[in-house]
Amino acid sequence: MQTLRQEAIDVISKMPESVKIDDIMYRLYVIDKIRKGREAVAGETSFQSKQ
């Protein structure tokens, strides 16, 4: 898995030159949420349903 820094650099480098800072910040926010979700799923040992 890439480091967070490298992933951010890759994403920003693929964006158009006219990109706005808000778009960059949003994209990085989404990447952070996806990364945290993947880590949470990988850390779960079992699925428990609350009823």
Tens of pLDDT, residue by residue, the chain (51 residues)? 678 899 899 999 999 999 999 999 999 999 999 989 988 998 875 555 565
Residues 6+ apart with CB under 8 A from 19: 12
Percent of the chain at pLDDT > 70 equals 84
DSSP state of 45: S
- Report H helices in the chain: 4-13, 21-43
Residue where the block lists tokens 């079992």: 46
Is this prediction's pTM over 0.95? no
Closest CA to 32 of 9, 8, 49: 8
How does pLDDT run across 31-44, given as a tens digit for each residue?
A: 999 989 988 998 87
